[in-house]
Structure 1
Amino acid sequence: MAARHADDEQKKAIRDEFDSVVNMSASQLGKWLQTDESKSVGQKKDGESESIGHQSGEHIIDILNKKVDDLSESDYTHMSKVISYVRRHSAQRPEHVAGSNWAYSLKNWGHDPEK
């Protein structure tokens, strides 16, 4: 049972940090992902029309709409990826944030740097 307890603690830590870096609601993120600005930024995998960040945003909406007990291992893996991306990208803050590709990319990952 000790291993399960540690696993539960790790998952709670991931959820807590995810909740602190994702500062957009599922509906805010969904509206953002429909904009041309959202679609204009990010790296694309070979042959794909949608950027990695845009795909991430869709997964984040899915996570935000789930109950904690319904989160899968893949959701926790993605939550960790989101935390890492937002932390790393935030450290590269440009002088002008508003309307920047930097801000648009972060918003695709559920983090509005202007909030």
Structure 2
Amino acid sequence: MIARYVRCALGRAASIGLGVSEWQSRVLLLLVAAILTGAATVLARPLSFVGLMGPHLARLGGFRKPVAQAYAAALIGAALMVLADWIGRTIAFPWQVPAGLFSTVIGGAFYAALLARR
């Protein structure tokens, strides 16, 4: 079944000719990418997630030049971790929820919003 979706890489016309649904293949590929990103985040900890998401968020935020994008990525990553840590400490006050959980939720939601805006 997966092999049927891999054929979609040949192009839209070829995939339609083979009977592959473009919408289903996109949803499947996005789902696989989301699962793999989540697994990588769990294994590599939230700091690497912020390191991966910061440049993408900066680029989608409108920063195109390399120096401006690097500064924006650093500031976005720092703000994301501070916000995630603050939420993790205040949401269930006597206990602390890991900042990595909230950085993934906040960063993923913001990234999805930027993609939807585009």
Tell me if TM exceeds 0.5.
no
Select the structure of larger CA radius of gyration: 2
Name the structure, 1 or 2, with higher relative contact order (CA <8 Å, separation 6+).
1
User: TM-score, length-normalised on structure 1?
Assistant: 0.30
